[in-house]
Amino acid sequence: MTEGMVAKGLQDVVVDDTWICKIIGDVGKLYYYGYSIHDLAEKCSYEEVVFLLLKGKLPNKTELEQVTGDLKQARGLPKEVTDVIRGAPKGSIPMDVLRTAASALALTDAKPNDDSPEGRYRKAIRMVALFPEIVAADYRLRRGEQPVAANPKLNHAANFLYLLHGKEPGADAARTMDVALVLHAEHDFNASTFTARVIAATMSDMYSAITGAVGALKGPLHGGANEGVIKTLLEIGEPAKIKPWLTEKFKEKNFRLMGFGHRVYKTLDPRAIVLKKYSKKTGEERGTTKWYEMSNEIEGMMKGREKPLYPNVDFYSASTYFMMGLPPEIYTPIFAVARVVGWCAHVIEQQTHNRLIRPAAEYHGEIDKPFVEIGAR
Ligand code: CMC
């Protein structure tokens, strides 16, 4: 073994230039095109962030109307894609359905390989517009309900909730979803985005890159953690059981507490700070802050450990969504609904300044072994 020669997990390896996103992990800062995530979450709609990530600047009023119109225009899931969702075997995992449907979107695009700037923008807008429809159609079908058509009066976040529940959401729920989408929209070279960039760097098409990214996001060490968080909270069940539960679990080898830790943040994830407020607020609106209180207590205990662990974006999104009446299996798909724009922005950036991504590996096996014919092995 040549220990120390490899950058295991590519930690701290700078693989490319980017202009889209900056994380300062030591102090918990996050910027999209230079704008602080706190300003974006408090003052922007998801549509503004879509424009920012795809065009590199905040939209003025006319540009915002334009991008909002483009997103509405792109709504309406092709029947072929709805049929793919309908045809998924009972019990399929929602992220698997989303991954398959994302791939099927390419088949219903007349110009899936149009890599002109206009073509790339159109494909990105199309995927941003249709991801909520895929997730919602699957959500409703597995409950024995028919998908509903988009509501042209509603913005992206409110329409997503409308697509899920078949009725207009209240203003608080719509705003909470809008903030959640903004917070999850982009996060530099995370695993799913890097996956998208690796695929894009072969000059394959945007649909292939995004389909791969959905697959990467599904993993419990990445976007799948939010589902794990709510399962943990439900398993613990009561505030009094937190301490004994954690004590027992941390005795297990390789135990990972979902929603804690991060490769880049060495302190609080700024997105968790915002979502913590929404977890509390949503709990108060729904008449129970139990899941927020439990989350807060777990956060305190983890921060107080000899080796402190801090909550990441997935920790407080889980209790927020749960309080919004959303079931756990949909939490990672919601992450994808938000992140698809970030992936598209990175695919465009990668292909604009492209070089094939092809790293090297440290080989530990033998070479020049004498070949043995099959009968002699
Ligand atoms: N629970 C328990 N121990 C942890 C955790 C955790 N959640 N996170 C890190 N550690 C420990 C780990 O055991 C290791 O300890 P030691 O040095 O004694 O061996 C140390 O902290 C460093 O861990 P690592 O695995 O080298 O760190 P990493 O940068 O490779 O992992 C991570 C980052 C996110 C995969 C990890 O923190 C983790 O597994 N967290 C739980 C899953 C999770 O919440 N993922 C969501 C990430 S944020 C949303 C997103 O973008 O995906």
35: helix, strand or coil: strand
Active site residue 38: no
> What are the sequence ranges of the domains in the chain?
16-218+339-352, 225-323
State the chain's mean pLDDT as an integer: 96
Q: Given this model, what pLDDT does residue 5 score?
A: 81
Ligand 1 pocket test, candidate residues 184, 190, 221, most atoms within 8 A of CB: 221
CB 138 within 8 A of CB 83: no
What secondary structure does DSSP assign to 337-358, as a single string?
Answer: HHHHHHHHHHHHHHHHT-----
Ligand 1 pocket test, candidate residues 217, 256, 314, 331, most atoms within 8 A of CB: 256
The string of pLDDT tens digits covering residues 201-238 is 999 999 999 999 999 999 999 999 999 999 999 999 99
Averaged pLDDT, 360-374: 97
CB 309 within 8 A of CB 257: yes
Q: Given this model, what pLDDT does residue 261 score?
A: 97
- Is residue 3 very low, low, confident or very high in pLDDT (cuts 50, 70, 90)? low
Spatial neighbors of 49 by CB under 8 A, at least 6 apart, are 32, 40, 181, 182, 185, 186, 341
Averaged pLDDT, 86-97: 96
Whether 363 shows a pLDDT value over 60: the answer reads yes
Q: Given this model, what pLDDT does residue 113 score?
A: 95
Spatial neighbors of 152 by CB under 8 A, at least 6 apart, are 72, 75
Whether 2 shows a pLDDT value over 50: the answer reads no
Q: Given this model, what pLDDT does residue 1 score?
A: 41
- Is residue 352 very low, low, confident or very high in pLDDT (cuts 50, 70, 90)? very high
Averaged pLDDT, 38-43: 98
Active site residue 262: yes
Atom of ligand 1 nearest to the CA of 264: 29
The string of pLDDT tens digits covering residues 120-169 is 999 999 999 999 999 999 999 999 999 999 999 999 999 999 999 999 99
- Residue with CA nearest ligand 1 atom 39: 221
Ligand 1 mean position, distance from CA 163 (Å): 34
CB 37 within 8 A of CB 30: yes
Rounded Cα–Cα distance for residues 172 and 320 (Å)? 12
- Residue with CA nearest ligand 1 atom 13: 254
Q: Given this model, what pLDDT does residue 367 score?
A: 98
- Residue with CA nearest ligand 1 atom 2: 256
Active-site pick, 70, 156, 314, 346: 314
Which of 180, 206, 209 is closest to 192 using CA atoms?
209
pTM, 2 dp: 0.96
Ligand 1 mean position, distance from CA 199 (Å): 26
Could you please state the CATH topology (level 3) that the domain comprising 225-323 is classified under: Cytochrome p450-Terp; domain 2 (1.10.230)
CB 214 within 8 A of CB 102: yes
Query: Does the domain made of 16-218+339-352 have the CATH classification 1.10.580.10?
Result: yes
Q: Given this model, what pLDDT does residue 4 score?
A: 64
The string of pLDDT tens digits covering residues 106-124 is 999 999 999 999 999 999 9
248: helix, strand or coil: helix
Q: What are phi and psi of 294, to 5 degrees?
A: -65, -40
Does ligand 1 have an atom closer than 6 angstroms to the CB of 258?
Answer: yes
